[in-house]
Chains A and B, each alone.
Chain A
Amino acid sequence: MATWASLVDRFVGVRALELDRVEPVAWPRTDAPKLRPLANEDVYFFVKRIDNSGVIRAADPAARRACSRSAVTGFLAAMLIIAGLLPAAYNTMSGFTLERLRQEQQALKQQEAVLNLEEAQLLSPARLEKLAVELKMVDPAPQQVQEISATAPNSEARNRMPEDLRR
Chain B
Amino acid sequence: MSPPYNGKSTDRLVITGLILTGWALILLLRLVDLQVFSHDELARMAERQQDKLVAVNAPRGAIFDRDGNYLAISSPSRFVVVDPRRIPNKEIAAALLAKILALDPQKLEADLEAAAKSRRHNGYLVIDPRVTPEKAKQLAELKLDWLEIRDGSLRNYPNGQLAAHVLGNVNAEGKGAAGIELKLDRELAGTPGWQRVRVDVNKDAYESEIVKEPRPGKNIGLTIDSAIQHIAEEALEKAVVQNHADHGSVVAINPKNGEILALANYPTYDPNERLHAGEQPHGREDLAVVAPYEPGSVFKVITLSAALETTRLKPWTIIPCAGGVLRLFGRTIHDAERHGDLSMADVLAKSSNVGAIRIGMEVGAKEMYEYVRRFGVGSRTGIELPAEASGMLRPLRKWQATSLASVSFGHEVSVTTVQLARIGSVIANGGYLIYPHLVQWMQAPGGPKEYKQLPAPVRVLKPETAATMRAMMQRVVMPGGTAAQLHLVGYSLAGKTGTAQIFDYAHHVYTHRYNASFMGFAPVNDPAILIVVSVSGTTGEAGFGAWAAGPAFQTIATAALRLLNVPRDVPEEVEALEQKELAEMAKRKGVQEARDVDDDALADLAPAPEASETTADAASAGDAGDVARVPDFTGKTVQDVMEEAAQSGVQVDLLGEGLARAQQPSPGSVLPAGGHVRVRFAR
A114 at the A/B interface (Cβ < 8 Å)? yes
A99 at the A/B interface (Cβ < 8 Å)? yes
Say whether A129 contacts B74, CB under 8 Å: no
Say whether A113 contacts B76, CB under 8 Å: yes
Q: Top 3 nearest A-B pairs by Cβ distance?
A: A120-B158, A125-B230, A120-B70
Of residues 53 through 88 on chain A, the ones whose CB sits less than 8 Å from some CB of chain B are 58-60, 62-63
* Total of A-B residue pairs, C-beta within 8 Å: 90
Indicate with 1 or 0, residue by residue over B160-189, a CB within 8 angstroms of chain A CB atoms. Answer: 111000000000000000000000000000
Across the two chains, which residue of chain B brings its CB closest to A121? B158
Across the two chains, which residue of chain B brings its CB closest to A124? B159
Residues of A within 8 A of B559 (CB): 139
Cα distance A102–B573 when bound, in Å? 63
Say whether B206 contacts A92, CB under 8 Å: yes
Indicate with 1 or 0, residue by residue over A138-149, a CB within 8 angstroms of chain B CB atoms. Answer: 011111010100
Residues of B within 8 A of A44 (CB): none
Say whether A143 contacts B574, CB under 8 Å: yes
Across the two chains, which residue of chain B brings its CB closest to A93? B206
Of residues 112 through 167 on chain A, the ones whose CB sits less than 8 Å from some CB of chain B are 113-114, 116-117, 119-121, 123-126, 129, 139-143, 145, 147
Residues of B within 8 A of A143 (CB): 489, 574-575, 577-578, 581
Residues of A within 8 A of B204 (CB): 96, 99-100
**Known pairs A92-B206, A126-B160, A147-B567; A113 contacts B578 (CB<8 A):** no
Across the two chains, which residue of chain B brings its CB closest to A66? B13
Across the two chains, which residue of chain B brings its CB closest to A99? B205
| Interface residues on chain A, size class | 20 to 34
Say whether B230 contacts A96, CB under 8 Å: no
Say whether B162 contacts A126, CB under 8 Å: yes
Say whether B490 contacts A142, CB under 8 Å: yes
Residues of A within 8 A of B489 (CB): 142-143
Residues of B within 8 A of A40 (CB): none
Q: Which residues of A contact B (CB under 8 A)?
A: 58-60, 62-63, 92, 95-96, 99-100, 102-103, 110, 113-114, 116-117, 119-121, 123-126, 129, 139-143, 145, 147
Cα distance A61–B206 when bound, in Å? 52
Cα distance A129–B159 when bound, in Å? 12
21 residue pairs A–B, Cβ–Cβ below 8 Å? A58-B2, A59-B4, A63-B4, A92-B206, A96-B204, A96-B205, A96-B206, A99-B205, A110-B76, A117-B70, A117-B73, A117-B75, A120-B70, A124-B159, A125-B159, A125-B227, A125-B229, A142-B489, A142-B574, A143-B489, A143-B574
Say whether A99 contacts B207, CB under 8 Å: yes
Cα distance A120–B69 when bound, in Å? 7
Say whether A117 contacts B230, CB under 8 Å: no
Residues of A within 8 A of B571 (CB): 147
By CB atoms of chain A within 10 A, which of B76, B198, B490, B577 has the most? Answer: B76
**Known pairs A110-B75, A126-B230, A141-B577; A117 contacts B158 (CB<8 A):** yes
